[in-house]
Structure 1
Amino acid sequence: MKILPLAALTLLLVGCGGNNSPANVNAPGAPTSPSLKVLETGADALQSRPPIDAISAYLDGFHFYNGDQNGQMEAHHYVTVLNEDVMQAVIYDGNTRDAKLMGVEYIISERLYKTLPPEEKKLWHSHQYEVKSGSLIAPGLPATADHALMKRIANTYGKTWHTWHTDRDKNLPMGIPALMMGFTADGQLDSRLLADRDKRFDVDSKKIRAERADIVTHPVVPGANAWEQGQVIQLKRVTGGGEHAHGETHFAPAEQLKKP
């Protein structure tokens, strides 16, 4: 099968598959007032949103906290293709209107990943297993478009930071960002999470795995998935009481995960 250029592929990425995964937490606060609703409606009608309009794909997969493989959650990615080598995604804890923004993921090609400094490579995870296993899906896409998209993603690498830990009953974005990783082998992902996702989207991960058997993946570039070698990187407070207090707070990689 011919692999379409990303610019052309984005034209195919129009489908359904949303509005079936509610947010994990309810943010505290008073109901939206009529005046604020009027402002929202007016802004929606009058203001342009080029960065938001550029989002062209929806991917659903799973992450875990770097250094804590039991800290697993579903992640809804809304992806913008910047060019042939770089994509970026905003990540939510659901796909409904009130979904909470959990974090971001930057996705780069194998070619670019190979150019990164050794210490930088440790922050990134591979996507080979996620694609081949069927745990990463593009809800609503026709089979042909899904297959073409997954071919483009299979050998890419992602760097993911979560800023709102809604899987841990954090009803506000408290704590510090956490570096996330992707699964690399069978038996790592909680089967209950996968089964629940498959049921909501009416998909069969085993069938998807079989359909992607012909997708060629390359050996993982050394440096990625550093957690597999016991190299855990997370932020932790060193001094001071606030993440943004200039001259008072510093961050350093933690030798072991400090849960948010």
Structure 2
Amino acid sequence: MKSPTLLVLTSLVLTGCGANNSPPQTPIPGEKTSAKMRTLETGAQLIQSRPPVDAISAYLDGFHFYNGDKNGQMEAHHYVTVLNEDVMQAVIYDSNTKDARLMGVEYIISERLFKTLPPEEKKLWHSHQYEVKSGSLVAPGLPAMADKALMSKIVNTYGKTWHTWHTDRDKTLPLGIPALMMGFTGEGQLDPALLADRDRRLDVNTQDIKRARQNIIAHPVIKGANAWEQGEVIQLKRVPGAGEHAHGDTGFGQAEQTRKANN
């Protein structure tokens, strides 16, 4: 049975709305979708089930920047699935329309789980306290009660975000390697023009939202998160081989050799 918190995030959240007002800005190459492909798409929608997609229960709109480049800022439309009381996951798009480009993913964990991470892992994660309390993270269309319940759950969580399609930099295809993203942690960091444009399109007022969230309790940020503030900048680099994901002697390669020998 779902906990009260999960019920809030999967029932109250689903009563909200807010979409189809922020189209993608980056064109993509390719021919117009054919009638045959559209027919196949429609048929698949009617016949096939999509449990992972149907499990998405919340829409959040916020902002990210490239770890190591605070001026590389962009709006991020999050579609969130609650996995359990301590773990959520989000698919991130560059818009909230049907033709949105899938930009990346964010994994969201509770304060309790974040405390258990090793120091090097914590450097990959960012806090959500400021995003919630400042009003820069919003849940478009949610009634006030549901918004407060949702944000009270998110405020003390931590996120690890990877962007795979850099549409903010006019990348018409998902070129290059994924980038680690961070969230804002203080006043004066987020481009006010970016925020004002978001508020206009989504018909929200960040300052009103900030005032409404004053009594949401935000804990001090745990040491290790937001490592960029201490100059710890981490990004991926192309390297030969499997990098940190190599298995070594006890991994898949050895197991496969053993399997073949036994056969």
Q: Please confirm whether the aligned pair reaches a TM-score higher than 0.5, indicating the same fold.
A: yes
Corresponding residue for residue 63 of structure 1: 64
Within a 5 Å distance, the mapping from 1:147-186 to structure 2 comes to 147-186=148-187
Deviation at 1:6, TM superposition (A): 1.8
Aligned to 1:57, the other structure's residue is in SS state strand
Corresponding residue for residue 10 of structure 1: 10
Deviation at 1:237, TM superposition (A): 1.8
Deviation at 1:116, TM superposition (A): 0.5
Within a 5 Å distance, the mapping from 1:185-204 to structure 2 comes to 185-204=186-205
Q: How far apart in 2 are the matches of 1:97 and 1:27?
A: 14
Corresponding residue for residue 256 of structure 1: none
Corresponding residue for residue 254 of structure 2: none
Q: Given residue 154 of structure 2, which amino acid in structure 1 is its aligned partner?
A: I
Deviation at 1:238, TM superposition (A): 3.4
| Structure 1 residue ranges, 4+ long, deviating more than 3 angstroms after superposition | 249-252
Check if 1:97 corresponds to 2:106.
no
Query: What is the root-mean-square deviation of aligned Cα atoms in Å?
Result: 1.5
Corresponding residue for residue 73 of structure 1: 74
User: How many percent of aligned residue pairs carry the same amino acid?
Assistant: 74
Q: How far apart in 2 are the matches of 1:163 and 1:5?
A: 31
Corresponding residue for residue 48 of structure 2: 47
Q: How far apart in 1 are the matches of 2:6 and 2:73?
A: 30
Q: How far apart in 1 are the matches of 2:9 and 2:179?
A: 32
Q: How far apart in 2 are the matches of 1:71 and 1:216?
A: 30
Q: How far apart in 1 are the matches of 2:7 and 2:116?
A: 24
Corresponding residue for residue 225 of structure 1: 226
Aligned to 2:237, the other structure's residue is in SS state strand
Within a 5 Å distance, the mapping from 1:236-251 to structure 2 comes to 236-239=237-240, 247=241, 250=243
TM-score between the two structures when normalised by the length of structure 2: 0.89
The 8 Å contact of residues 107 and 161 in structure 2, kept in 1 or not, is answered as yes
Deviation at 1:67, TM superposition (A): 0.4
The 8 Å contact of residues 180 and 235 in structure 2, kept in 1 or not, is answered as yes
The 8 Å contact of residues 235 and 251 in structure 1, kept in 2 or not, is answered as no
Query: What is the count of residue pairs matched by the alignment?
Result: 242
Q: Given residue 5 of structure 1, which amino acid in structure 2 is its aligned partner?
A: T
Q: Given residue 30 of structure 2, which amino acid in structure 1 is its aligned partner?
A: G
Q: How far apart in 1 are the matches of 2:23 and 2:123?
A: 32
The 8 Å contact of residues 9 and 58 in structure 2, kept in 1 or not, is answered as no
Aligned to 1:132, the other structure's residue is in SS state helix
Q: Given residue 172 of structure 1, which amino acid in structure 2 is its aligned partner?
A: L
